[in-house]
A and B are shown apart, each in its own frame.
Chain A
Amino acid sequence: MTAATQTTRYPIDGWRLVLRRLARQRNVLIGGAIVLFVVFVAVIGPSLMMHSPEETDLFNPWSPPTAQNPLGTDKLGRDILSRLVYGARVSLLVAGAVLAITLTVAAILGMIAGYMGGRIDAFLMRFVDIMLAFPEVVIAILIASMIGSGVLTVIISLALVWWPGVTRLTRSFVLVIREELYIDAAIVAGTPTWAIFLRHLLPNIAAPLLVRASVGVGFIVMAEATLSFLGLGIQEPVPSWGGMIRDGLPALRTDPYLAIFGSLALGITIIGFNLLGDGLRDALDPKLQGR
């Protein structure tokens, strides 16, 4: 081996490898572009709109697309484009909140289950097995009966549905890391368990956990829209894509714009998140390489 090849930093540079793998994935590029656009719209969009999303114009209900209202208006004469753009912000905020709560709970419980093992692990995983894939609408009905419909109901319900899967994922990462020498070294050195959790386990599971959890964002957006569609979620006058589609469906025969544009925005956004998520998982999971 010559000195020249030694100085060339080759594949082990993690991020460059990941980026190169990602760029080769067409799905990641398409999904990433859609997600970037939606995020851009959610952040910048509302300030660019001509109308406020809650501004009603009772003399101009169910307008078809015009120069004034590029995508038409709803039954109260509210601008559909403004509501769609603002709805993107609402969707992403809810998804972010659910993700934050889920990750926190799952990181703690997953570390406990994976590191402690034994009965605690068995009990937690048994519970996770049963809760996994529990229908979110059923939980939302329960929560809505207690505290009424609204953003809080959506966030609580979706967090309750999502934590089991992420907890199991965390546990599987911890099971691998627990066997590492540096954990043994920490134990021998007398490091308290909480410090092992905080300094040795958490930093090592954080990155893969974040990436894998982000795969679920599309489904969280979909679940939020479903609950809002059923009337259990985001309440009027705050715009939500699910609520807009619900309002638009009965008028589909005469004024289809609301339901159709709402469905398109929602569908394309979730496709974007899912393409990006699947691609990320494929690119970062070495076990799936070459499949």
Chain B
Amino acid sequence: MLRFVAWRLAGLVPVLGIVLVATFLATYALPGDPVLVMLSDHSSNVEMANRLRAEYGLDQPLWKQFFNYIAGVAVGDFGMSYRYVRIPVVEVLSDGIKISPILALAALAAAASIGVGAGILAAIKRNSGIDTAIILILVAGLSIPNFAFATFFVYLFSIKLGALPVAGWGRIDQAILPVAILAIPSAAYIARLTRTFMLEVLGQDYIRTARAKGLAERVVIARHALRNILVPLLTSMGIIFGGLISGTFVVETIFNIPGLGRLAIDSVFARDYPVAMAIVMLFTAFFVLINLAVDVAYAIIDPRIRQRMGVK
């Protein structure tokens, strides 16, 4: 097992290496002088420009800058922001890093419960009106982008009904629309997977055995069937998290939520590349680690997988 984890961890090195080089190139090796961006209207002040250049390490040769960058990232130091001059990137990120995970986890919880519930319902009532209705909603949920959903939801709930705030963050009622809209695509995806797996599992012999024993249908579904669809659902967590990460950028932008996603977009436009690249690194590391965790969990749950992956 340890060897398996080590092997998987080793596989991440090239990916993180590529991201490291790419983010460095995007931050430091661009045409144009970041010091001029920082100085804006004081660009003729040579002394100040030189002092800033030295503080940001921009006067050193490129290879040395790259070395400093890697050494910094290794200890969680992403340098200083260009937009907020001389403020460490870590400090710029400190607010957003508390918001985006909450948003994503709340959406994941909502998506998982609604998705699994709807998927099971559709599978049990296969080919009925309920099944068809759920499938139609799924197609819409998977096809309509979340900002298009946001248009309709904000128009209906915030403007026509006046029930929910249009934007902001901090109160419960401000969280309802963003979490719902972030959750929709994931919920639809989970529901579709659940329905497919459930239909497969319900045709298995052990389900017939459980029913033949005279177990209540509720117990058959909850104890025997549900448990067996959790494993294939787990393997899809990487895709689900990928969708949630992309979604936070959109939802935070729409609802004016000061999370990491909106900060990243704002930073690109403000040419604050150190901040944008730090967020790219964070999301990449997070995404890659989630996939690693899924792999490991999968191998723990299902010994056959371990064998297929060549782990002794």
Contact = CB atoms under 8 A, between A and B. Distances in A.
A and B form one complex: yes
Interface of A: 126-127, 129-138, 141-142, 144-146, 149, 218, 222, 225-226, 229-232, 242, 245-246, 248-249, 252-253, 256, 259-260, 262-264, 266-267, 270-271, 273-275, 291
A271 B12 contact: no
Which of A230, A232, A259 is the most central at the interface, judged by chain B CB atoms within 10 Å of its CB? A230
Nearest to A145: B26
B291 A130 contact: yes
B152 A260 contact: yes
B250 A230 contact: yes
Interface residues of B, number: 52
A263 B265 contact: no
Contacts of B242: 133-135
B139 interface: yes
Given A249-B154, A253-B159, A267-B144, A230 B249 contact: yes
B186 to A, nearest CB: 12
B309 to A, nearest CB: 11
B253 to A, nearest CB: 6
21 contacts: A130-B11, A132-B238, A135-B246, A135-B283, A137-B246, A141-B265, A141-B276, A141-B279, A222-B143, A226-B147, A226-B246, A226-B250, A232-B265, A242-B147, A253-B166, A259-B151, A263-B148, A263-B149, A270-B143, A271-B139, A274-B142
Nearest to B261: A137
A133 B280 contact: no
Contact of A252 (B140, B154, B265): B154
A10 B166 CA distance: 61
B269 A231 contact: yes
B239 A133 contact: yes
B280 A141 contact: yes
A35 B121 CA distance: 31
A124 B254 CA distance: 38
B225 interface: no
B8 to A, nearest CB: 9
B14 A127 contact: yes
Nearest to A291: B199
B148 A142 contact: no
A140 to B, nearest CB: 9
A142 B147 CA distance: 22
Contacts of B291: 129-130
A274 B139 contact: yes
B182 interface: no
Contacts of B265: 141, 230-232
A230 B249 CA distance: 8
A255 B151 CA distance: 12
Contact of B277 (A137, A145, A262): A145
B interface majority secondary structure = helix
Contact of B268 (A134, A145, A256, A273): A145
Nearest first, the 7 closest Cβ-Cβ pairs linking A and B are A263-B148, A133-B242, A267-B144, A135-B245, A145-B26, A133-B239, A271-B143
A126 B148 contact: no
B15 interface: yes
A28 B140 CA distance: 16
Interface in B197-224: 199
A29 to B, nearest CB: 14
Nearest to B242: A133
A270 B144 contact: yes
A58 B49 CA distance: 43
B145 interface: yes
Contacts of A231: 265, 269
Given A263-B152, A267-B148, A145 B11 contact: no
Nearest to B7: A126
A270 B148 CA distance: 11
A248 to B, nearest CB: 7
A134 B249 contact: no
Nearest to B264: A141
Contacts of A142: 22-23, 26, 277, 280
A31 to B, nearest CB: 10
A249 B151 contact: yes
A223 B145 CA distance: 8
Nearest to B23: A142
B287 A270 contact: no
A267 B140 contact: yes
Interface in B226-240: 238-239
Contacts of B11: 126, 129-130
B150 interface: yes
A225 B145 CA distance: 8
B78 interface: no
Given A141-B268, A229-B253, A252-B159, 13 more contacts: A134-B284, A142-B23, A145-B26, A145-B276, A222-B143, A225-B145, A226-B145, A226-B147, A249-B151, A263-B147, A270-B145, A271-B140, A273-B143
